[in-house]
Amino acid sequence: MPWHGARLGDTGVRVRRLRRRVLGRRVLGLLALVVLPLTACGDDESAPDATDAARLRAVTTDLAALTGTAPSARAASTDVGSADVPYRRARVRADAGRLDALLPLVRRMTGEGWRLTWASCRAPDTAGSAPREVRLQLARPFEGLPGGTATVLADVRASAYADDSGGAVVEAVVPHHLDTSTRYRVPDADLDLAASCLADPPPAADPRPAAVEGGERVTLAGAL
């Protein structure tokens, strides 16, 4: 019996020590959760702030209503986007369905304040090995947000194959709160949707260069 009692006592000590270790690890974990965000914010002016969060919410809500889907969103970050942009802009991506549903979607977008600025269409080849492809770029100013009006650029990509496969996506890039006109360039000219290759697609033909309409497509450093 004395030997058995000693074993029970040793077990109690080990249990108490284990509990202290677990508690210590939990405390350290909580401290890390508090300290790391503070460290990440620090004095770094490129760290995402309330302006970036509000813009991301507005764009996500807008694309959800337009596409009827639940978009995926990636928040802005302090990762280096490129040599001249020390941050990555927030992005929102939404499923746009099939290519034959793209024209009604773009009509809804232009009806809600989006401007069509660029389009590229490629006809399928007669053998059906190359798909019909459409690429568009749109822009929309979002007003009444922290930090002032933010103009968002969106790329739309769609394809349709002879076997009835393919699809379309909308991917929007949200301007960062530090973006300036030299870093975030928005096209000035609009493209008439009714006269575009999306509304009047080229007929099936032998492979040929894509028909490009509108001004120059804008490519944002570290974004699109």
Greater confidence (188 vs 23) lies with 188
Residue 30 predicted with pLDDT over 80: no
- Which pLDDT score, from 0 to 100, does residue 13 have? 52
Greater confidence (141 vs 23) lies with 141
- Which pLDDT score, from 0 to 100, does residue 107 have? 95
Question: Which residues lie across from 138 on neighbouring strands?
Answer: 116, 154
- Which pLDDT score, from 0 to 100, does residue 6 have? 43
| Calpha distance 170→112 (Å, rounded) | 15
The candidate with the shortest Cα–Cα distance to 91, out of 119, 64, 60, 113, is 60
Residue 77 predicted with pLDDT over 60: yes
Greater confidence (158 vs 12) lies with 158
* Helix, coil or strand: residue 196: coil
Tokens of 53: 């969060």
C-alpha 188 chain-centroid distance: 23
Mean pLDDT of 36-54: 68
Half-sphere exposure of 142 (CA within 13 A, CB side): 24
- Which pLDDT score, from 0 to 100, does residue 218 have? 79
Mean pLDDT of 196-222: 68
Residue 34 predicted with pLDDT over 60: no
| Calpha distance 89→56 (Å, rounded) | 10
135: pLDDT confidence band, cut at 50, 70 and 90?
Answer: very high
- Which pLDDT score, from 0 to 100, does residue 90 have? 93
Tokens of 56: 């991301």
Yes or no: say if 212 and 120 are a contact pair by the CB < 8 Å rule: yes
What tens digit of pLDDT does each residue of 156-182 get?
999 887 777 889 999 999 999 988 877
- Which pLDDT score, from 0 to 100, does residue 206 have? 47
